[in-house]
């Protein structure tokens, strides 16, 4: 095979194709070097290598004028791709239907960080907006030359460039560059992942010029998912592919003593692969792999000492555990002094359990490891980091690893998908064949990295008038990054740890995100050591809105407790203390839409079914959200039915109102599930939550009847995220409604029927 | 091993496999009809639902032998983009998807429910669909879609 021409050779050879568009204000060595030889150009024939500093890495125009946007994040189900298409369409002045969005393929997209922290629009859209504006600028310049009309006298309508004064003088994007490439450098900010951005010469549009952004366009995955015309990662099938099941130990902290390969002799074609404590079975047929995994006899060395505390003692364990790291997020005034002079103090503690991602299906990945390169199909949130992780695990250069993101069976954080991807790669290497691995239900609940259990200590000082003069909220719990947010380091994967890579835990938690202007205030967090260093089924990592629901379950209940102590309405109390005007506006919007009225008298609590309403509010990454929950509590059964939610949401400029509404709805229901039902069960040496019976989640019987959403639009403010902010206020809104209904505080999540019954019996 | 004959979406098929193997693996692995998903293997989530002689069943626990001589319908047999089942059309109209992995279970189960009880009330629907899982929290829009389909089917 002929080696492809180098970039420079090609540029020299294809000079005839170059449409020179003159000088450029762009800075940067790379640009200066190239501009001296070829100038700013469009329509050169080959695509430059994938790099953030190349315009062609972001946007392309096909011969038929269709536009492709290359997006280094992915839509995990909230219809992010249509929002990206809208942004690109507006900057390029093409119809949104003409914009295709390619997502999460490491050969086609730059590492924009994958699905992460609700940054899809907030950070992810920025380079695509800039690239699209730059592409438009170059195309208008090229049209100017072609038509002999100054650029400022041209307009673009749906990819047609025409003279303002004479519409018959026109050309199209397709004619100008269709099927060819810009070969145009842009200034990359040298950041990889979420903050990746580019600077361009073109000026992006102002919000007042948007025609597409701000309107609801239908999401694009409907047919693929509803008629199943689209493949999921579970559907990928390769010639010669083997099916695999990884054998996780039945108890934590086990090592492999021996594997009895004869125990699966009866399963035709099945075999065992093993590397240290990493054991798996492989078979040409999937059912045979499942059967072999059930039949395989493994003798495990059990740990001398059980690694976990009794489940009932979990939160005492957290209280007593040594602090590995402490960080103070906010420190204002002298809290201790406020307590010394307080007329009254209020104190409370709140507890949150371990929770599982418990994705809809256990994770799956397909890998094909060959001498000349590795291909992995994965539903991971972070394909570019998977690429690094696979490369490091197998000892090959990252550029030899191609990760293709495909719809997967669920996400919402660092779930089991990252482990499956690295498992598949290791297994394909060991087997010398393409391998498809999927977990069983147990693998997706007992063995995914968990959301951290924690305890929150809160105290406040009030003066004689009821004013809050001192406020302290300290969270203590397992690190949210005991396992990293992505699988780029194999020592953060089960296969890495079970083949002997030492785990490298990091410390991180968080503090309440609000603007309460209490006179003195301390917000802090403390992390404690993991229960088990390596291969722990209770290792902790990011779960949707990492530590957001956990923290605000405490902090937003505590604010309610202060309102109660000050004998004030919870809405009025919050409005009295929030200092950010947008926060106040959101709280007011939720309260107004919900028809919130201050209570004039005591609640009637005589019946079997009690009713209550509660509010909670928080910020997250620039977004502000408030939710009012209206619930019913059945005294006899302990069942809480959260019947209605009213959510007010401000994430700056709204790109797609309908998509935003659905995203908020999903947050509300997921948050309700976590608040009412979800808790990982464990004993001294294993996780006992292995399926949907032992890890119950919200059932449709318990789904809300109504979710009212008020979208607060701020076109003048750059958009922030929506994938996670709402979930953080839901547990506290429900718990505050529970107090309103019953007069009883639930300071321990989840508010499961048993716990509710017990709390009401004690009251 | 046994040769088991049945129909899938109107097409006659023969699968040569362990008769005790769950039907799901025959559909996905032998026949490459991947519409039903593996979700739990325990009949606890519904992702694998197909119709056996018109009844919604969990193919992850139903032995292949139970399909012998019978008619199996998958989501693709229920409807297509050109000829959608009213529930599929309603799912599209209401834009229900988030990750989409659960959709098969809800649509196949709801189709069987509506066949028996086209005017099912909200409470009856919630009862009939109990046990199905959705992790993205689309429950509210699922109910909206089913109610829309009921109107279409009336």
pLDDT for A205-262, tens place per residue?
A: 999 999 999 999 999 999 999 999 999 999 999 999 999 999 999 899 999 999 999 9
A410: nearest CB among B75, B96, B99: B99
Q: State yes or no: pLDDT of A172 exceeds 90.
A: yes
Q: Which of A226, A409, A709 to mutate to test the interface with B (most CBs of B within 10 A)?
A: A226
Q: Residue B97 is nearest to which of A225, A231, A667, comparing CB atoms?
A: A225
**CA dist list (Å): B58 to B50, B78, B139:** 7, 16, 20
Instruction: State both tokens at A49.
Output: 């290598």
Residue B10 has pLDDT above 70, yes or no: yes
DSSP string, A102-158: EESBTTTS----SS-TT-TTTTTHHHHHHHHHHHHHHHHHHHHHHHT--GGGEEEET
How far apart CA A540 and CA A524 sit, in angstroms, is: 19
Partner residue opposite A666 with nearest CB, options B37, B98, B107: B98
Asked if the Cβ–Cβ distance from A285 to B25 is below 8 Å, we say yes
pLDDT tens-digit map of B125-138: 999 999 999 999 99
| Tokens representing residue B6 in the block | 């049945």
Q: Is A489 within 8 Å of A503 (Cβ atoms)? A: no
Q: A687-736 pLDDT, tens per residue?
A: 999 999 999 999 999 999 999 999 999 999 999 999 999 999 999 999 99
Contacts of B130 (CB under 8 A, 6+ apart): A699, A700, A701
Confidence band of A3 (pLDDT split at 50, 70, 90): very low
Closest-CA distance of chain B to residue A758, Å: 26
From B17, B102, B130, residue closest to A701, measured CB to CB: B130
Q: What is the pLDDT of residue A14?
A: 34
Per-residue model confidence (pLDDT) at position A44: 53
CA of B52, closest CA in chain A: separation in Å?
19
Pinpoint the alpha helices (H) of A700-746: 730-742
Average pLDDT, chain A: 93
Q: Does B49 reach chain A within 8 Å, measured CB to CB?
A: no
Percent of chain B topping pLDDT 90: 99
Over residues A546-581, the pLDDT tens digits come to 999 999 999 999 999 999 999 999 999 999 999 999
Contact A201, A24 (CB under 8 A): yes
Angstrom distance (rounded) from CA B63 to CA B31: 15
Residues 6 or more apart whose CB falls under 8 angstroms from that of B82 comprise none
pLDDT of residue A42 exceeding 80: no
Q: Flag if A362 and B38 touch (Cβ within 8 Å).
A: yes
Pairwise CB contact (< 8 Å): B133 & A697: yes
Q: Classify residue B35 by burial, with Cβ atoms within 10 Å: 0-12, 13-18, 19+.
A: buried
Q: For residue range B32-68, list pLDDT tens digits in order.
A: 999 999 999 999 999 999 999 999 999 999 999 999 9
- B145 touches A: beta carbon within 8 Å: no
Chain A neighbors of B34, CB-CB under 8 A: 228, 231-232, 234-235
Report, as an integer, the average pLDDT of A479-485. Answer: 96
**Residue A602: predicted pLDDT:** 77
Query: Residues of A with CB below 8 A from B88's CB?
Result: 226-227
Confidence of residue A45 (pLDDT cuts 50, 70, 90): low
Whole-Å CA distances, A410 to A280, A371, A676, A703, B137: 23, 31, 21, 19, 12
pLDDT 10s digits, A74-107:
999 999 999 999 999 999 999 999 999 999 999 9
pLDDT confidence bin for A278, thresholds 50/70/90: very high
- DSSP 8-state code for residue B44: S
The answer, for B16 touching chain A at a CB cutoff of 8 Å, is no
- Identify the pLDDT of residue A47: 87
Distance (Å, whole) CA A193 – CA A612: 44
For A745-755, how does the pLDDT look when each residue is reduced to its tens digit (9 = 90+)?
999 999 999 99
> Under a CB-based contact definition with an 8 Å cutoff, are residues A736 and A645 in contact?
no
Using pLDDT thresholds of 50, 70 and 90, give the confidence band for residue A1. very low
| Closest CA–CA distance from residue A658 to any residue of chain B (Å) | 9
Task: State the alpha helices, DSSP H only, in A227-334.
Answer: 286-295, 314-320
Instruction: Using the predicted structure, report yes or no on whether residue A307 has a pLDDT greater than 60.
Output: yes
Of residues A219, A410, A706, nearest to B135 (C-beta): A410
Q: Has this prediction a pTM greater than 0.90?
A: yes
For residue A682, is pLDDT > 50? yes
Burial of A591 (C-beta count, 10 Å sphere; 0-12/13-18/19+): buried
Residue carrying the six token digits 């956990």: A550
Which of A228, A231, A673 lies closest to B75 in CB terms? A228
| A9 pLDDT above the threshold of 90 | no
Check if B101 contacts A (Cβ < 8 Å).
Answer: yes
Angle (nearest 5°) at CA B135 between A755 and B147: 100
Q: Say if residue A468's pLDDT is above 50.
A: yes
pLDDT exceeds cutoff 60 at A33: no
Q: Does A693 sit within 8 Å of B40, measured CB to CB?
A: no
Count residue pairs from A and B with Cβ separation < 8 A: 176
Residues of B in contact with A440 (CB under 8 A): 41
Using a CB-CB distance cutoff of 8 angstroms, which residues of chain A are in contact with residue B47? Answer: 360-361
Q: What is the dihedral of CA A635, A640, A644, A646, to 10 degrees?
A: 110
Please list the residues that pair with A232 across neighbouring strands: A407
Structure confidence by residue, pLDDT tens digits, B82-122:
999 999 999 999 999 999 999 999 999 999 999 999 999 99
What's phi and psi for B22, nearest 5 deg? -60, 145
Distance, CA of A385 to chain centre: 14
- Strand A373-378 versus strand A401-405 pairing type: parallel
Instruction: Kindly state whether B150 is in contact with chain A, defined as any CB-CB distance less than 8 angstroms.
Output: no
């Amino acid at each position: 095979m002929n080696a492809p021409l180098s970039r420079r050779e090609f540029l020299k050879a294809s000079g005839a194709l170059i449409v020179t568009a003159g000088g450029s204000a762009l800075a940067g060595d790379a640009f200066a070097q190239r501009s001296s030889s070829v100038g700013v150009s469009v329509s050169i024939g080959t695509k430059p290598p994938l790099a953030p500093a190349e315009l062609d890495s972001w946007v392309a125009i096909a011969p038929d004028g269709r536009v492709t946007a290359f997006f280094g994040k992915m839509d995990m189900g909230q219809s992010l791709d249509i929002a990206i298409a809208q942004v690109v369409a507006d900057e390029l002045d093409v119809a949104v239907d003409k914009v295709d969005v390619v997502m999460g393929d490491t050969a086609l997209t730059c590492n924009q960080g994958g699905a992460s922290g609700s940054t899809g629009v907030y950070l992810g859209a920025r380079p695509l907006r800039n690239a699209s504006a730059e592409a438009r600028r170059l195309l208008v310049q090229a049209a100017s030359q072609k038509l002999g009309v100054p650029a400022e006298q041209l307009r673009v309508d749906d990819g047609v460039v025409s003279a303002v004064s004479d519409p018959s003088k026109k050309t199209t994007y397709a004619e100008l560059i269709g099927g060819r490439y810009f070969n145009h450098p842009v200034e990359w900010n040298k950041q990889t992942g979420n903050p990746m951005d580019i600077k361009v010469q073109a000026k992006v549009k102002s919000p007042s010029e948007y025609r597409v952004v701000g309107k609801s366009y239908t999401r694009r995955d409907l047919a693929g998912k509803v008629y199943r015309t689209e493949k999921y990662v579970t559907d990928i099938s390769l010639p010669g592919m083997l099916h695999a099941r990884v054998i996780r130990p039945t108890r934590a902290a086990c090592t492999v003593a021996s594997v009895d390969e004869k125990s699966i002799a009866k399963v035709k074609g099945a075999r065992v692969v093993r590397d240290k404590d990493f054991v798996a079975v492989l078979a040409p047929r999937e059912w045979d792999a499942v059967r072999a995994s059930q039949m395989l006899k493994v003798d495990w060395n059990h740990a001398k000492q059980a690694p976990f505390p009794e489940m009932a003692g979990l939160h005492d364990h957290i209280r007593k555990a040594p602090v590995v790291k402490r960080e103070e997020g906010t420190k204002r005034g002298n809290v201790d002094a406020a307590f010394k002079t307080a007329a009254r103090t209020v104190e409370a503690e709140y507890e949150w359990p371990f929770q599982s991602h418990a994705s809809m299906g256990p994770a799956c990945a397909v890998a094909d490891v060959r001498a000349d390169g590795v291909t992995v199909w994965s539903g991971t949130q972070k394909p570019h980091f998977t690429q690094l992780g696979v490369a490091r695990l197998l000892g090959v250069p990252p550029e030899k690893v191609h990760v293709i993101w495909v719809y997967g069976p669920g996400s919402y954080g660092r779930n089991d998908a990252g482990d499956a991807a690295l498992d598949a790669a290791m297994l394909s290497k060991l087997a010398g064949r393409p391998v498809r691995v999927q977990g069983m239900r147990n693998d997706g609940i007992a063995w995914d990295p968990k959301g951290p259990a924690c305890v929150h200590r809160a105290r406040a000082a009030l003066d004689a008038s009821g004013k809050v003069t001192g406020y302290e909220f300290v969270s203590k719990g397992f690190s949210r990054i005991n396992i990293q947010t992505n699988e780029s380091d194999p020592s953060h994967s089960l296969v890495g740890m079970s083949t002997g890579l030492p785990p490298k835990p990091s410390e991180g938690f968080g503090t309440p995100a609000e603007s309460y202007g209490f006179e003195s205030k301390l917000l802090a967090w403390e992390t404690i050591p993991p229960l088990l260093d390596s291969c722990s089924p209770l290792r902790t990592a990011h779960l949707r809105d990492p530590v957001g629901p956990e923290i605000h379950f405490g902090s937003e209940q505590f604010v309610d407790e202060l309102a109660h102590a000050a004998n004030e309405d919870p809405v009025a109390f919050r409005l009295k203390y929030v200092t950010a005007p947008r926060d106040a506006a959101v709280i007011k919007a939720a309260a107004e839409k919900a028809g919130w009225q201050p209570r004039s008298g005591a609640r009637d609590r005589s019946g079997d079914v009690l009713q209550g309403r509660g509010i909670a509010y928080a910020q997250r990454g620039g977004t502000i959200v408030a939710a009012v929950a209206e619930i019913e509590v059945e005294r006899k059964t302990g069942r809480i039915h959260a019947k209605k939610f009213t959510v007010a949401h401000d994430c700056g400029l709204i790109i797609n109102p309908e998509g935003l509404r659905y995203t908020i709805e999903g947050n509300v229901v997921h948050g309700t599930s976590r608040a009412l039902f979800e808790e990982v069960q464990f004993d001294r040496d294993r996780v006992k939550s292995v399926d949907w019976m032992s890890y119950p989640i919200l059932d449709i019987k318990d789904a809300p009847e109504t979710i009212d959403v008020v979208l607060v639009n701020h076109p003048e403010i750059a958009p922030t995220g929506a994938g996670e902010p709402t979930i953080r206020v839901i547990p506290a809104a429900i718990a505050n409604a529970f107090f309103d209904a019953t007069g009883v505080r639930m300071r321990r999540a989840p508010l499961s029927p048993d716990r509710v019954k017990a709390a009401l019996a004690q009251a | 091993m046994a040769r088991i004959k049945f129909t899938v979406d109107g097409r006659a098929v023969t699968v040569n496999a362990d008769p005790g193997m769950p039907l799901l693996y025959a559909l996905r692995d032998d026949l490459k009809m991947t519409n039903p998903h593996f979700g739990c293997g325990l009949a606890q989530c519904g992702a694998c639902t197909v119709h056996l002689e018109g009844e919604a069943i969990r193919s992850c626990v139903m032995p292949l032998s139970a399909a012998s001589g019978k008619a199996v319908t998958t989501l693709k047999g229920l409807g297509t983009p050109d000829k959608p089942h009213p529930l599929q059309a309603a799912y599209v109209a209401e834009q229900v998807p988030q990750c989409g992995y659960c959709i098969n279970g809800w649509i196949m189960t709801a189709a069987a429910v509506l066949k028996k009880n086209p005017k099912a009330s909200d409470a009856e629907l919630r009862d009939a669909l109990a046990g199905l899982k959705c992790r993205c929290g689309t429950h509210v829009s699922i109910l909206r879609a089913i109610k829309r389909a009921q109107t279409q089917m009336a």
